[in-house]
Amino acid sequence: MLPFMHKDQPDQFYRLFIPIFLHAGIIHCAITVVVQWYYMRDLEKLIGWARMAIVYMGAGIGGSLASAIFLPYRPEVGPAGSHIGIFAAMYTDIIYNWKLIQRPWHALRELMMFTTVLFLVGLLPWIDNWAHLFGFIFGLLISLATFPYIQSADNDRTWRLVVVCACLAIAFALFILLLVVFYLRSDFDCPFCEYFNCIPFTDHLCDNQGLRLQMDLLTCLLIVRLSTKLGRKDTIQNWDGGRGMVGGHGIVVH
């Protein structure tokens, strides 16, 4: 990716929304269609397309922003944050329509199991758990603020206004905080955060998030020369005759 504000940081603003519309292949795209058809469609009938778009894009952008912070050098595709934001909104729908649902505990249990599976799958390489987590948070906050039928038992408008303002304020504050960290990433360090996104069940399962490129010696030398010209000598680690890691660029060389 081309630099935006800082030459040595992948802080492009378009990373926040472009991944929502990209997919890694036909299977990935089919999963998105299934989620939108079986879950998003019914929810959209209840709240309207405008509110659904706000939840979908808000959760997706929030998830992409968190992913860009914790996984700055990893390419991201897919609306993972948007999808789990939909499920977060479904929690809101189930809880506030508890008495209207025929089997509410069954619906809640099924949704909790599905959400748990998503987070467990996120512990594998190339499945973005940070987008899941923050997409869920933003989806929950936005749904609480925008769903039209959320009221107190006595339809107190003051209570409703407090809920809306509080949820929007928390969502806005969290977004600003993430945005500040995103553009000041040089001071951000979280050595244990990587285990939330990938647990190394084997020795090399989480190496560079599963990305391994086979390169010949000439390609390796070109990478070293390019990194040296860019003043990134610190990015060359464990160089051994064409074997090593270009850490700053997220490439494992063999």
CA distances from residue 31 to 35, 39, 49, 116, 149 in whole angstroms, order as listed:
6, 12, 21, 18, 30
- Joined together, the tokens standing for residue 204 give 């090399």
46 and 40 in contact (C-beta within 8 Å)? no
144 and 100 in contact (C-beta within 8 Å)? no
Residue 158: half-sphere exposure toward Cβ, Cα within 13 Å = 0
* pLDDT higher than threshold 80 for residue 157: no
Position 161 confidence tier, pLDDT thresholds 50, 70, 90: confident
Give residue 78's region: left, alpha or beta (phi > 0; psi -120 to 50).
Answer: left
Position 236 confidence tier, pLDDT thresholds 50, 70, 90: very low
- In CATH, the architecture of 13-196 is Up-down Bundle (1.20)
CA–CA separation, 1 and 12 (whole Å): 8
Every domain of the chain and the residues it spans: 13-196
pLDDT recorded at residue 136: 94
Q: Give the model confidence (pLDDT) of 24-45 as tens digits.
A: 889 888 888 888 888 888 888 8
| Burial zone of 193 (CB within 10 Å; 0-12 exposed, 13-18 middle, 19+ buried) | middle
